[in-house]
Amino acid sequence: MKKCRVLFLTAALAFYTVGCGSTTTQTSAVGTADETLKAQQSENTTSQEAKEEKEVKPDFPQKVVYDCEKGRIRLDLPEEAVYTIEEYTGPDSEFGICFRLNEKMDGEVFVGYQNSFAVCGTELEETETTINGMPARMGVYDQAPYWSFLVLTEEYTDYVIKADGAESWWEGYGEQVMQVLETLSIDRK
């Protein structure tokens, strides 16, 4: 089985956490019982439509968990997926799960802890996104149709997801890789 490759580049890129403020607005309404009933029916219809539009996550059969003194990573993988565990060996080591959706997939995805992650900023575009509700920064080089890395932000700033060889597998596997990543959970210790 292929060993997980780690990419270290010479230029460092600083990642900043952007705080989000929330605003709460209170309103009061005065109207007839008929207006209130119509408003409630409208809210119920909108709520039902939102539930129907919500994407259902696939239930992948392989439940992969790696647990060590630094944290716990959990991913659900399809039955035909293959994976390796990169174990934690000490204070400066990384750990995580490398997976391929099947034996034919050329390249792999690393999901894990990396104490220091640096990339080359040349032709790099970053956008904010979320992975299973966790805020992240997506790094895309040369306007490619796939990402090269995702760095989790806020409380998980030392967790990264790297797409090794994505140029050769993204078209056939990209959508399913993103479905797998939507099962990711991380717990710190």
Summarised one tens digit per residue, pLDDT across range 60-75 is 899 999 999 989 999 9
C-alpha distances in Å from residue 108, one per residue of 14, 19, 29: 25, 32, 55
What's residue 20's pLDDT?
A: 29
Q: Could you tell me which of 148, 127, 149, 157 has the C-alpha nearest to residue 15?
A: 157
Query: CATH number of the domain at 62-188, please?
Result: 3.40.1000
CA 9 from chain center: how many Å? 22
- Read off the pTM: 0.69
Does residue 3 surpass a pLDDT of 60? no
Q: H helices of the chain, where?
A: 33-53, 166-181
Q: What is the CB neighbour count within 10 angstroms for residue 99?
A: 22
Buried-state track 72-85, b at ≥16 Cβ within 10 A, e below 16: ebbbbbeeebbbbb
Q: Picking from 31-45, 72-86, 162-176, which range would have the lowest pLDDT averaged per residue?
A: 31-45
User: Rounded to an integer, what distance in angstroms lies between the CA atom of residue 151 and that of residue 124?
Assistant: 14
Place of tokens 């993204």: 170
pLDDT band at 2 (very low <50, low <70, confident <90, very high): very low
| pLDDT for position 55 | 55
Q: Specify the pLDDT at position 73.
A: 97
Closest CA to 9 of 125, 130, 116: 116
Closest CA relative to residue 183, chosen from 88, 80, 111, 96: 111
Q: What is the pLDDT of residues 114-169, one digit of tens each?
A: 988 888 888 999 999 999 999 999 999 999 999 999 999 999 999 999 999 999 99
Element (H, E) at 159: strand 159-164
Q: What's the pLDDT score for residue 117?
A: 84
List the chain domain ranges: 62-188
